[in-house]
Structure 1
Amino acid sequence: MSFDLPRNVILPVDAIDVRLDPGPHPFARDNAEAIAENWQHEIAANPALFDGMVVLLSQLAYRDNRLAGRCHAVNYSTFMLWRKRRENSGAEHAYAHAMLVAADNALVAIRMGPHTVNAGRVYFAAGSFEPVDFRDGLVDVDFNMIREVREETGLDLSGAHRGKRYHAMSTNSGTVIFRRYHAAAPADEIAQRISAFVATETEPEIDGPVIIRHAADLPVGLSPHMKPLIEWHFANGS
């Protein structure tokens, strides 16, 4: 099987071996005309969209606390069509979350800006893997996490204490790889820093920070995959 991992369960991950295949993804190759047509509809509805490069998986498996897979660089327009045709597409999506844990053990997430594809959704600052996130063909998950948090919130997590291992949860909509990043400041102070950064941006990606203080503190607009991650954090200490 191209995708062989348990669904809807949080898995411990000690190693990630996801490699970038230089060849085209079969989904992109086989749907070129539909991709171009759909993209015209997408940008007509949201002119702020940019057809940059992301990656889509063609394989992913979980064995012995290890994730191994293969992915291919595709245009964002390909990703947008895949979102509508993901069932039996031969492609899946993986992304990473730096789970930002404040000094008071609260979680600090973000709400996406109104011009984005996921407008109003709440999750940890994140973005799809891009070719820049790979080193000698191997994905650098922490580089992606730190890069996305910096771009969206202005925070630099490069010196933050990191959780001992990664965890992952795979659903029909994608596989999230996450890791705790511990900040030295309390949640309110972190939120103030993020809000100050957003105020300086001409077209900020996010609407602002969202603080989650306990497992039942679920904000409006929370992405479905976030609830089990939040429950896991508050059930498993820090």
Structure 2
Amino acid sequence: MTPPSIHRVTALDLKVQPWAWPFAQERRAEIDAHFAEAQRERPNLWNGRVLLGRSATFEGERLSASYFETDFASFLAWRDWGFPDRGVFNGFGMGALLASDGAFVLGEMGHHTSNPGRVYFPSGTPDLDDIRGEALDIASSVAREVEEETGLTAADYRPDAHWDCVFTGVAIAMMRVLYVDMPGDALRARIESNLASQEDPELAAIHLVRDFSDLTAAMPRFVTAFIEMHLSR
């Protein structure tokens, strides 16, 4: 990945268009074998349909890009093999939960997920449920992921008006602060209670970040870059 750069935008113009990904076609047998091995290690992995991006441009306060449909197995192989096709990127939304006392709230992914042990904000690779007409609705994707992972609904937080897009070459994390009118410890306890009620939760633990000392190596660089920007203000 390239060093992260952060672009603040207020508009996301993300078109979903048909496109055949050469990587997924030309390396089909290798991809299928890779996914079969991944499933042996983590049987809950599901080869559903996801959306990846191409041709991203930042113009003023707008991010524009084209998205295409592919299978999760192809995405996983592309990621695990070091992003061999640099003409596409993983563009996803993240709900940066911010408690009333200034604590960011992040989740640690469970061992059965495709990112075990990683710590970040609620997020997920966009899928077909996030399409509205011919466009990708990142705001809806974020709301869905936040509810699935934490139990919080849109009534529990106030989204910021802008997105901070952290660009790393092969990924664009479209991050939006979600203000929650609750102190960090209370918010963590509420989310932990929700996780305890789930049969197979995605998250294994909840982490609070109040200052630079709370940042860890388990947090991807695009997450720490975003938090560092906010803590430096």
Cα offset for 1:209?
A: 1.2
- Structure 2 residue 125 is the aligned partner of structure 1 residue 128: yes
Deviation at 1:233, TM superposition (A): 1.7
For 1:215, the equivalent position in structure 2 comes to 212
For residues 47 and 8 of structure 1, what CA distance do their matches in structure 2 show?
Answer: 33
| CA–CA distance in structure 1, aligned partners of residues 14 and 200 of structure 2 | 32
Kindly indicate whether the alpha-carbon contact (under 8 Å) linking 1:122 and 1:221 is maintained by their aligned counterparts in 2: yes
Aligned partner (choices 69, 74, 79) of residue 78 of structure 1: 74
Whether 1:24 aligns to 2:20 is: yes
CA drift at 1:220 = 5.3
Is the CA contact 2:23–2:85 (under 8 Å) kept in the aligned structure 1? no
Q: Which of 135, 140, 146 is residue 138 of structure 1 equivalent to?
A: 135
- 2:158 is aligned with 1:161: yes
Question: Which residue of structure 1 lines up, in the alignment, with residue 43 of structure 2?
Answer: 47
In structure 2, list runs of 5 or more residues that go unmatched: none
| Helix, strand or coil at the partner of 2:113 | coil
Partner of 1:227: 224
2:4, 2:221 within 8 Å by CA — same for their partners in 1? no
| Aligned residue among 138, 147, 152 for 1:150 | 147
**2:34: which partner in 1?**
38
Q: Encode CA deviations 1:107-127: one digit per residue, 9 max, x unaligned.
A: 001111111121111100110
Q: 2:110 aligns with which of 96, 104, 113?
A: 113
What runs of 5+ residues in structure 1 fail to find an aligned partner? 1-5
1:157 maps to a residue whose letter is A
Matching residue of 1:93: 90
Name the residue aligned to 2:202: 205
Equivalent-residue separation in structure 2 for 1:195 and 1:88 (angstroms):
38
Structure 1 stretch displaced more, 171-180 or 191-200:
171-180
Q: 1:207/1:186 Cα in 2 relative to 1: closer, same or farther (>3 Å)?
A: same
State the alpha-carbon separation in 2 of the partners of residues 86 and 142 from structure 1.
26
For the 8 Å contact 2:14–2:67, the answer to whether it is kept is yes
SS in 2 for 1:126: coil
Residue 72 of structure 2 aligns to which amino acid in structure 1?
Y
- Contact 1:25 1:58 (8 Å CA) reproduced: no
Deviations 1:51-94 (CA, angstroms, capped at 9, x unpaired):
11111113211122211111111111111111115134432111
Letter in 1 for 2:121: F
CA contact (8 A) 1:103 1:185 kept: yes
Q: Among all aligned residue pairs of Structure 1 and Structure 2, give the percentage whose two residues are the same amino acid.
A: 27
Contact 1:107 1:187 in 2 (8 A): yes
CA distance in 2, matches of 1:78, 1:188: 39
1:97: Cα distance to partner? 0.9
Give the distance between the partners of 1:194 and 1:204, measured in 2 at CA.
Answer: 11
**Counterpart-to-counterpart distance in 2, 1:126 and 1:155:** 13
Instruction: Indicate the SS of the match to 1:97.
Output: strand
SS at 2:50 equivalent: strand
Q: Provide the rounded CA distance (Å) in 2 between the counterparts of 1:23 and 1:218.
A: 39
Cα deviation, residue 158, structure 1: 4.6
* Separation (CA, whole Å) in 2 of partners of 1:157 and 1:185: 14
Q: What is the RMSD of the two structures over their aligned residues, measured on CA atoms? A: 1.7
